[in-house]
Amino acid sequence: MQPEELRLDGNAAAGTLREVFAAEVTVMLATCAGCGAERPMGALLEYGDGMGVILRCPGCDRAMLRVARTPEFVRVDASGMSLLAIPRAAE
Amino acid sequence: MAGTAIPGRLTWQVATVVEARDETPRARTLVLDVPEWPGHRAGQHVDVRLVADDGYQAQRSYSIASAPQDAHVALTIERIANAEVSPYLCDVLRVGDGLEVRGPIGGYFVWDVAIGGPLMLIAGGSGIVPLMAMLRHHARATDAVRERIPVRLLYSARTWENLIYRDELERLGESTQVTVTFALTRQAPPGWIGYRRRIDRAMLEELGWPTSDLPRAYVCGPTPLVESVSALLVELGHDPSRVRTERFGATG
Protein backbone atom coordinates (compact mmCIF):
# COMPACT_ATOMS: atom_id res chain seq x y z
CA MET A 1 0.00 0.00 0.00
CA GLN A 2 1.16 3.50 -0.67
CA PRO A 3 1.70 5.83 2.25
CA GLU A 4 -0.89 8.59 2.38
CA GLU A 5 1.35 11.26 0.97
CA LEU A 6 1.91 9.24 -2.18
CA ARG A 7 -1.70 8.45 -2.90
CA LEU A 8 -3.13 9.13 -6.32
CA ASP A 9 -6.64 9.92 -7.50
CA GLY A 10 -9.33 8.70 -9.85
CA ASN A 11 -7.34 9.92 -12.87
CA ALA A 12 -4.72 7.23 -12.26
CA ALA A 13 -7.34 4.48 -12.22
CA ALA A 14 -9.17 5.77 -15.30
CA GLY A 15 -7.50 3.39 -17.77
CA THR A 16 -8.21 0.31 -15.64
CA LEU A 17 -11.76 1.41 -14.86
CA ARG A 18 -12.45 2.04 -18.51
CA GLU A 19 -11.91 -1.68 -19.08
CA VAL A 20 -14.62 -2.37 -16.51
CA PHE A 21 -17.15 0.35 -17.26
CA ALA A 22 -16.52 0.71 -21.01
CA ALA A 23 -16.63 4.47 -20.47
CA GLU A 24 -14.52 7.33 -19.14
CA VAL A 25 -15.25 7.20 -15.41
CA THR A 26 -13.48 10.33 -14.20
CA VAL A 27 -16.39 12.55 -15.28
CA MET A 28 -19.03 10.46 -13.52
CA LEU A 29 -20.41 12.08 -10.36
CA ALA A 30 -20.34 9.70 -7.42
CA THR A 31 -22.21 10.27 -4.15
CA CYS A 32 -20.57 8.87 -1.03
CA ALA A 33 -22.81 6.48 0.88
CA GLY A 34 -21.10 7.59 4.07
CA CYS A 35 -21.12 11.38 4.10
CA GLY A 36 -23.33 12.18 1.10
CA ALA A 37 -20.72 14.28 -0.71
CA GLU A 38 -20.93 14.23 -4.51
CA ARG A 39 -17.71 14.46 -6.52
CA PRO A 40 -16.41 13.56 -9.95
CA MET A 41 -14.67 10.20 -9.79
CA GLY A 42 -11.48 11.88 -10.99
CA ALA A 43 -11.41 13.68 -7.63
CA LEU A 44 -11.63 10.56 -5.48
CA LEU A 45 -8.47 9.28 -3.79
CA GLU A 46 -6.89 6.16 -5.24
CA TYR A 47 -5.19 3.54 -3.13
CA GLY A 48 -4.50 0.86 -5.68
CA ASP A 49 -1.86 -1.66 -4.76
CA GLY A 50 -1.47 -3.65 -7.95
CA MET A 51 -4.13 -6.14 -6.87
CA GLY A 52 -6.96 -3.83 -7.80
CA VAL A 53 -8.34 -0.35 -7.42
CA ILE A 54 -9.83 1.33 -4.37
CA LEU A 55 -11.32 4.80 -4.65
CA ARG A 56 -12.00 6.63 -1.39
CA CYS A 57 -14.03 9.68 -0.46
CA PRO A 58 -11.69 12.64 0.15
CA GLY A 59 -14.08 13.91 2.79
CA CYS A 60 -14.72 10.92 5.02
CA ASP A 61 -12.24 8.32 3.65
CA ARG A 62 -14.96 5.75 2.99
CA ALA A 63 -14.09 3.25 0.26
CA MET A 64 -16.54 4.16 -2.49
CA LEU A 65 -15.40 1.77 -5.19
CA ARG A 66 -13.36 -1.40 -5.06
CA VAL A 67 -12.39 -3.33 -8.17
CA ALA A 68 -10.54 -6.63 -7.92
CA ARG A 69 -9.75 -9.32 -10.46
CA THR A 70 -10.08 -13.02 -9.86
CA PRO A 71 -9.39 -15.62 -12.53
CA GLU A 72 -13.07 -15.77 -13.41
CA PHE A 73 -14.42 -12.33 -12.56
CA VAL A 74 -13.80 -8.65 -12.22
CA ARG A 75 -15.43 -7.95 -8.87
CA VAL A 76 -16.87 -4.47 -8.43
CA ASP A 77 -18.01 -3.36 -4.97
CA ALA A 78 -19.74 -0.01 -5.27
CA SER A 79 -21.57 -0.23 -1.95
CA GLY A 80 -19.70 2.84 -0.76
CA MET A 81 -21.40 4.85 -3.48
CA SER A 82 -25.10 5.61 -3.05
CA LEU A 83 -25.52 7.20 -6.47
CA LEU A 84 -23.61 7.44 -9.71
CA ALA A 85 -24.56 10.15 -12.20
CA ILE A 86 -23.19 9.56 -15.69
CA PRO A 87 -23.10 12.57 -18.04
CA ARG A 88 -24.92 11.98 -21.28
CA ALA A 89 -23.06 12.65 -24.50
CA ALA A 90 -24.15 15.77 -26.40
CA GLU A 91 -27.32 14.89 -28.29
CA MET B 1 -19.25 18.50 -23.94
CA ALA B 2 -17.62 15.09 -24.10
CA GLY B 3 -18.95 13.11 -21.18
CA THR B 4 -18.38 9.44 -21.55
CA ALA B 5 -18.50 9.22 -25.34
CA ILE B 6 -15.39 7.48 -26.58
CA PRO B 7 -14.33 7.62 -30.21
CA GLY B 8 -12.98 4.09 -30.57
CA ARG B 9 -12.16 1.32 -28.15
CA LEU B 10 -9.36 1.70 -25.66
CA THR B 11 -6.94 -0.93 -26.86
CA TRP B 12 -3.21 -1.37 -26.65
CA GLN B 13 -1.42 -0.27 -29.79
CA VAL B 14 2.21 -0.19 -30.80
CA ALA B 15 3.37 3.37 -31.31
CA THR B 16 6.64 4.29 -33.01
CA VAL B 17 9.08 6.76 -31.54
CA VAL B 18 9.65 9.41 -34.22
CA GLU B 19 11.62 11.88 -32.11
CA ALA B 20 13.37 12.00 -28.77
CA ARG B 21 14.80 15.10 -27.10
CA ASP B 22 16.15 15.94 -23.69
CA GLU B 23 14.25 18.72 -21.94
CA THR B 24 16.35 18.82 -18.75
CA PRO B 25 19.00 16.53 -17.25
CA ARG B 26 16.15 14.45 -15.82
CA ALA B 27 13.37 14.78 -18.36
CA ARG B 28 13.06 13.56 -21.91
CA THR B 29 10.31 14.05 -24.47
CA LEU B 30 9.30 11.16 -26.72
CA VAL B 31 7.24 12.00 -29.78
CA LEU B 32 5.13 9.06 -30.89
CA ASP B 33 3.35 8.14 -34.04
CA VAL B 34 0.29 6.25 -32.80
CA PRO B 35 -1.68 4.47 -35.52
CA GLU B 36 -5.42 5.11 -35.43
CA TRP B 37 -4.96 7.86 -32.86
CA PRO B 38 -8.40 9.44 -32.31
CA GLY B 39 -7.00 12.75 -31.08
CA HIS B 40 -6.89 13.90 -27.49
CA ARG B 41 -7.85 16.74 -25.15
CA ALA B 42 -5.28 18.72 -23.20
CA GLY B 43 -4.78 17.11 -19.78
CA GLN B 44 -5.36 13.53 -20.89
CA HIS B 45 -2.77 10.81 -20.53
CA VAL B 46 -1.78 7.49 -22.03
CA ASP B 47 -0.85 4.24 -20.37
CA VAL B 48 2.47 2.77 -21.49
CA ARG B 49 3.26 -0.92 -21.17
CA LEU B 50 6.64 -2.61 -21.29
CA VAL B 51 6.92 -6.38 -21.66
CA ALA B 52 10.20 -8.12 -20.91
CA ASP B 53 11.37 -11.24 -22.75
CA ASP B 54 10.24 -13.38 -19.81
CA GLY B 55 6.75 -11.94 -20.05
CA TYR B 56 7.07 -9.61 -17.06
CA GLN B 57 4.90 -6.52 -17.61
CA ALA B 58 5.21 -3.04 -16.21
CA GLN B 59 2.66 -0.34 -16.88
CA ARG B 60 2.73 3.40 -16.16
CA SER B 61 0.66 6.46 -17.04
CA TYR B 62 2.20 9.49 -18.75
CA SER B 63 0.51 12.78 -19.48
CA ILE B 64 0.37 13.97 -23.05
CA ALA B 65 2.43 17.13 -23.51
CA SER B 66 1.44 17.97 -27.07
CA ALA B 67 -1.43 20.17 -28.17
CA PRO B 68 -4.57 18.39 -29.38
CA GLN B 69 -3.96 19.78 -32.85
CA ASP B 70 -0.63 17.96 -33.29
CA ALA B 71 -0.51 14.82 -35.42
CA HIS B 72 1.93 13.06 -33.13
CA VAL B 73 1.67 12.40 -29.41
CA ALA B 74 4.42 13.84 -27.21
CA LEU B 75 5.10 12.43 -23.75
CA THR B 76 7.62 13.95 -21.34
CA ILE B 77 9.12 11.39 -19.00
CA GLU B 78 10.95 12.26 -15.82
CA ARG B 79 13.68 9.76 -15.00
CA ILE B 80 13.23 8.34 -11.52
CA ALA B 81 16.33 6.66 -10.10
CA ASN B 82 16.08 2.87 -9.70
CA ALA B 83 12.61 2.80 -11.19
CA GLU B 84 11.36 0.13 -13.55
CA VAL B 85 10.05 2.10 -16.48
CA SER B 86 11.33 5.67 -16.70
CA PRO B 87 15.05 4.79 -16.99
CA TYR B 88 14.20 2.56 -19.94
CA LEU B 89 12.14 5.27 -21.63
CA CYS B 90 14.78 7.93 -20.99
CA ASP B 91 18.01 6.04 -21.59
CA VAL B 92 17.32 3.01 -23.77
CA LEU B 93 14.41 3.67 -26.10
CA ARG B 94 15.50 5.06 -29.48
CA VAL B 95 13.91 6.73 -32.46
CA GLY B 96 12.38 3.96 -34.55
CA ASP B 97 11.58 1.74 -31.58
CA GLY B 98 8.05 0.60 -30.79
CA LEU B 99 6.19 1.27 -27.55
CA GLU B 100 2.85 -0.14 -26.43
CA VAL B 101 0.39 2.59 -25.48
CA ARG B 102 -3.32 2.94 -24.89
CA GLY B 103 -5.34 6.11 -24.74
CA PRO B 104 -6.22 8.86 -24.60
CA ILE B 105 -7.49 8.52 -21.05
CA GLY B 106 -9.13 11.12 -18.85
CA GLY B 107 -12.12 13.41 -18.83
CA TYR B 108 -11.99 15.28 -15.53
CA PHE B 109 -8.52 16.77 -15.61
CA VAL B 110 -8.93 18.23 -19.08
CA TRP B 111 -9.22 21.76 -20.40
CA ASP B 112 -10.10 23.20 -23.75
CA VAL B 113 -11.10 26.67 -24.83
CA ALA B 114 -14.77 25.70 -24.70
CA ILE B 115 -14.48 25.36 -20.91
CA GLY B 116 -13.31 28.97 -20.67
CA GLY B 117 -11.39 30.80 -17.99
CA PRO B 118 -9.64 32.73 -16.64
CA LEU B 119 -7.22 29.87 -16.21
CA MET B 120 -5.02 29.21 -13.19
CA LEU B 121 -2.43 26.49 -13.77
CA ILE B 122 -0.27 25.31 -10.88
CA ALA B 123 2.44 22.69 -11.34
CA GLY B 124 5.10 21.02 -9.28
CA GLY B 125 7.91 19.18 -11.03
CA SER B 126 6.69 16.89 -13.80
CA GLY B 127 3.15 18.09 -13.07
CA ILE B 128 3.86 20.72 -15.72
CA VAL B 129 3.37 18.14 -18.49
CA PRO B 130 -0.45 18.06 -18.76
CA LEU B 131 -0.58 21.81 -18.13
CA MET B 132 1.82 22.30 -21.03
CA ALA B 133 -0.68 20.59 -23.31
CA MET B 134 -3.27 23.10 -22.05
CA LEU B 135 -0.90 26.02 -22.67
CA ARG B 136 -0.04 24.75 -26.15
CA HIS B 137 -3.73 24.35 -26.93
CA HIS B 138 -4.35 27.90 -25.67
CA ALA B 139 -1.46 29.26 -27.76
CA ARG B 140 -3.06 27.88 -30.92
CA ALA B 141 -6.39 29.59 -30.31
CA THR B 142 -7.44 32.74 -32.11
CA ASP B 143 -6.47 36.14 -30.74
CA ALA B 144 -10.09 36.74 -29.78
CA VAL B 145 -10.26 33.54 -27.74
CA ARG B 146 -6.94 34.22 -26.07
CA GLU B 147 -8.10 37.72 -25.15
CA ARG B 148 -11.14 36.20 -23.52
CA ILE B 149 -9.19 33.53 -21.63
CA PRO B 150 -6.10 34.85 -19.86
CA VAL B 151 -3.81 32.31 -18.19
CA ARG B 152 -1.63 32.42 -15.10
CA LEU B 153 0.90 29.63 -14.59
CA LEU B 154 2.75 29.03 -11.33
CA TYR B 155 5.42 26.35 -11.74
CA SER B 156 7.49 25.07 -8.84
CA ALA B 157 10.71 23.07 -9.34
CA ARG B 158 13.80 22.34 -7.30
CA THR B 159 16.20 24.29 -9.48
CA TRP B 160 16.34 26.42 -12.60
CA GLU B 161 17.85 23.49 -14.52
CA ASN B 162 14.89 21.26 -13.63
CA LEU B 163 12.25 23.54 -15.12
CA ILE B 164 10.86 21.54 -18.01
CA TYR B 165 9.99 23.54 -21.17
CA ARG B 166 11.58 26.58 -19.56
CA ASP B 167 12.45 28.45 -22.76
CA GLU B 168 9.06 27.80 -24.31
CA LEU B 169 7.30 28.88 -21.13
CA GLU B 170 9.28 32.11 -21.01
CA ARG B 171 8.27 32.79 -24.62
CA LEU B 172 4.62 32.06 -23.89
CA GLY B 173 4.85 34.36 -20.89
CA GLU B 174 5.83 37.25 -23.14
CA SER B 175 2.27 37.42 -24.41
CA THR B 176 -0.03 39.75 -22.48
CA GLN B 177 -2.55 36.96 -22.03
CA VAL B 178 -0.19 34.55 -20.32
CA THR B 179 1.69 35.11 -17.06
CA VAL B 180 4.39 32.60 -16.15
CA THR B 181 5.92 32.52 -12.68
CA PHE B 182 8.58 30.08 -11.52
CA ALA B 183 9.17 29.16 -7.88
CA LEU B 184 12.48 27.44 -7.09
CA THR B 185 12.47 25.39 -3.93
CA ARG B 186 16.00 24.14 -3.47
CA GLN B 187 18.52 26.29 -5.30
CA ALA B 188 18.38 29.45 -7.38
CA PRO B 189 20.79 30.84 -9.96
CA PRO B 190 22.85 33.92 -9.06
CA GLY B 191 20.79 37.09 -9.30
CA TRP B 192 17.46 35.24 -8.96
CA ILE B 193 14.85 37.63 -7.59
CA GLY B 194 11.90 35.28 -7.93
CA TYR B 195 10.29 32.98 -5.38
CA ARG B 196 12.66 30.75 -3.44
CA ARG B 197 10.27 28.55 -1.51
CA ARG B 198 7.45 26.08 -1.85
CA ILE B 199 4.09 27.32 -3.03
CA ASP B 200 2.18 28.68 -0.04
CA ARG B 201 -0.91 30.71 0.74
CA ALA B 202 0.82 34.07 0.34
CA MET B 203 2.10 33.14 -3.12
CA LEU B 204 -1.35 32.01 -4.24
CA GLU B 205 -2.89 35.22 -2.89
CA GLU B 206 -0.34 37.29 -4.79
CA LEU B 207 -0.53 35.40 -8.06
CA GLY B 208 -3.98 33.87 -8.23
CA TRP B 209 -7.06 35.23 -9.90
CA PRO B 210 -9.54 36.92 -7.57
CA THR B 211 -12.28 34.50 -6.56
CA SER B 212 -14.83 36.90 -8.06
CA ASP B 213 -13.35 36.17 -11.51
CA LEU B 214 -14.51 32.55 -11.09
CA PRO B 215 -11.27 31.11 -12.46
CA ARG B 216 -10.76 27.50 -13.43
CA ALA B 217 -7.77 26.01 -11.64
CA TYR B 218 -5.77 22.92 -12.56
CA VAL B 219 -3.19 21.65 -10.06
CA CYS B 220 -0.78 18.83 -10.92
CA GLY B 221 2.40 17.35 -9.50
CA PRO B 222 3.53 15.46 -6.40
CA THR B 223 0.63 14.50 -4.14
CA PRO B 224 1.67 16.68 -1.15
CA LEU B 225 1.87 19.77 -3.38
CA VAL B 226 -1.43 19.07 -5.11
CA GLU B 227 -3.27 18.51 -1.84
CA SER B 228 -1.73 21.52 -0.13
CA VAL B 229 -2.35 23.89 -3.04
CA SER B 230 -5.90 22.74 -3.73
CA ALA B 231 -6.78 23.05 -0.05
CA LEU B 232 -5.30 26.56 0.02
CA LEU B 233 -7.27 27.60 -3.07
CA VAL B 234 -10.49 26.47 -1.39
CA GLU B 235 -9.44 28.23 1.82
CA LEU B 236 -8.95 31.40 -0.23
CA GLY B 237 -12.55 31.12 -1.35
CA HIS B 238 -12.35 29.34 -4.69
CA ASP B 239 -15.21 27.01 -5.54
CA PRO B 240 -13.94 23.42 -5.08
CA SER B 241 -15.73 22.34 -8.24
CA ARG B 242 -13.56 24.80 -10.19
CA VAL B 243 -10.32 23.39 -8.78
CA ARG B 244 -9.27 20.22 -10.57
CA THR B 245 -6.42 18.07 -9.40
CA GLU B 246 -4.17 15.33 -10.71
CA ARG B 247 -1.80 13.68 -8.24
CA PHE B 248 1.42 12.17 -9.49
CA GLY B 249 2.30 10.42 -6.23
CA ALA B 250 5.91 10.59 -5.12
CA THR B 251 8.23 13.41 -6.08
CA GLY B 252 10.49 12.46 -8.97
pLDDT at B9: 62
Identity of the residue in A7, A11, A41 whose CB atom sits nearest the CB atom of B246 = A11
Question: Is A3 touching B (CB cutoff 8 A)?
Answer: no
Q: What is the ipTM of this complex?
A: 0.92
Residue B84 C-alpha from the chain's centroid: 21
Q: Does the beta-carbon distance from A24 to B246 stay under 8 Å?
A: no
Q: Say if residues B146 and B159 touch (Cβ distance below 8 Å).
A: no
The mean pLDDT value for B145-152 works out to 97
Name the residue type at position B164.
I
For B8-67, write each residue's pLDDT tens digit.
468 899 999 999 999 999 999 999 999 989 999 999 999 999 988 898 889 999 999 999
Pairing type for strands B119-124 and B151-157 reads parallel
pLDDT at B4: 43
Helices and strands of chain A, counted as H and E runs = 1, 8
Q: Does the beta-carbon distance from B3 to A89 stay under 8 Å?
A: yes
- What residues in A contact B246, CB-CB < 8 Å? 9, 11, 42
Question: Is B102 touching A (CB cutoff 8 A)?
Answer: yes
- What residues in B contact A3, CB-CB < 8 Å? none
* Residue environment code for A43-61, b if the CB has 16+ CB neighbours within 10 A, otherwise e: bbbbbbeeebbbbbbbeee
**What is the pLDDT confidence band of residue B74, given thresholds at 50, 70 and 90?**
very high
The mean pLDDT value for B143-150 works out to 97
| Domains and their CATH numbers in chain B | 13-105 (2.40.30.10), 113-247 (3.40.50.80)
Q: Is the pLDDT of residue A1 over 50?
A: no
The mean-pLDDT minimum among A37-41, B89-93, B162-166 falls in B89-93
CA of B12 to nearest chain A CA: how many angstroms apart?
11
CB atoms near residue B192 (< 10 Å): 12
Q: Is the pLDDT of residue A90 over 80?
A: no
Measuring CA to CA, which residue among B49, B44, B47 is closest to residue B68?
B44
Q: What is d(CA A17, CA A67) in angstroms, rounded to the nearest whole number?
A: 8
pLDDT at B250: 82
Decide: helix, strand or coil at residue B192: coil
CA of B140 to nearest chain A CA: how many angstroms apart?
25
Nearest-10 Cα torsion for B187, B189, B191, B194: -60
Q: Does the beta-carbon distance from A5 to B223 stay under 8 Å?
A: yes
DSSP state of B89: I
Q: Is the pLDDT of residue B164 over 80?
A: yes
pTM of the model: 0.94
pLDDT at B5: 46
Question: Is A27 touching B (CB cutoff 8 A)?
Answer: yes
E-strand ranges in chain B read 13-22, 27-33, 45-51, 57-63, 73-78, 98-105, 119-124, 151-157, 178-184, 216-221, 243-247
Q: Does the beta-carbon distance from A6 to B223 stay under 8 Å?
A: yes
Q: Pick the residue of A24, A27, A49 with the most B CBs within 10 A to test the interface with B by mutation.
A: A24
CA atoms within 13 Å, Cβ hemisphere of A42: 27
